Amino acid sequence: MGSVVSERAQRPSADATRQRILEAALDAFADQSFDGASLRNIASVAGVTQPLLNYHFRSKADLWRAVVDELFDRLNVTLGHHLRSLVDVEDRIVVHHMVRRFVEFSAHNPQLHRIITSECRADSSRMDYLVEQHIRPLYDAVTTLFARLAVAGDLPDIPPAHLYYLLTGAAPTMFVLGPECRRLSGLDPTDDDVIRTHADAVCTLLFGATHPQTGEYLPPSPPLTGRAHD
């Protein structure tokens, strides 16, 4: 077994090694945050030695950026793929589908929101990178889409606070707290029913409920009457 083919099999090829490092780093950063994750641990999981991480990626910070870039690339590819598959569908339904895909992706890639929330601090250059490079484009795209639908009369006016939820609020935390979710309520975040319920909840939060008989949309409204005392 010493032919040209077996040479390839013996040596895992640099790209494969790079990929294994990225995967190990993704889990480490998500589980233990940037400071808690050590290059030696990541290297150990990837089956290599620590200096190799500094060889392929210049520094720990650059490794982190590579991890984040690949993660958001996967998200954008997934959303774009499903968006293109939705032709001749009512805009309102498109929104619901995309929310569903986002929740789905979040459920199967809990690292996404774990990394975001673990990096959230005022003076963090990594948070700056996350927001400006990846989150803001998504947020702007969603804002633009919703504004277009509102003008077309296809959606009710959505309060900014509810809109902000879509990307940062309602969807993520359940997956950030995935293991505890299971521990407390017995729910499996990756279960299809849970994902659907979750997406429906987000849409209800955005658009309000639909009257079962008339199909009329009702905006999110407080069960509190106007006269709130205390």
Partner DNA sequence: GCTGTACCTAATCAGTTGATAAGGGATCTG
Partner DNA sequence: CAGATCCCTTATCAACTGATTAGGTACAGC
Which residues would be at the binding site for DNA (CB under 7 A)? 7, 10-12, 14, 17-18, 37-41, 48-52, 54-56, 58-61
Q: Which residues, 6+ apart, have CB-to-CB distance to 65 below 8 Å?
A: 129
Q: Which two tokens stand for residue 203?
A: 């849409």
Of 34 and 165, the one with the shorter C-beta distance to DNA is 34
Question: In whole angstroms, what is the distance from residue 39 CA to residue 32 CA?
Answer: 12
Q: Which does 131 bind (CB under 5 to 8 A by kind): a copy of itself, DNA, none?
A: a copy of itself
Nearer to a copy of itself, 7 or 230 (CB): 230
Q: Least Å distance between CB 106 and a copy of itself?
A: 11
Minimum distance from CB of 10 to a copy of itself (Å)? 34
Q: Decide if residue 40 touches a copy of itself (CB under 8 A).
A: no
Nearest to DNA of 9, 83 (CB atom): 9
d(Cα 105, Cα 189) in Å, to the nearest integer?
11
Helices (H) then strands (E): counts for the chain? 13, 2
Phi, psi of 24 (to 5 degrees): -65, -40
Would you put residue 146 in left (φ > 0), alpha (ψ -120 to 50) or beta? Answer: alpha
- By a kind-dependent CB cut-off of 5 to 8 A, residue 50 interacts, out of a copy of itself, DNA, none, with DNA
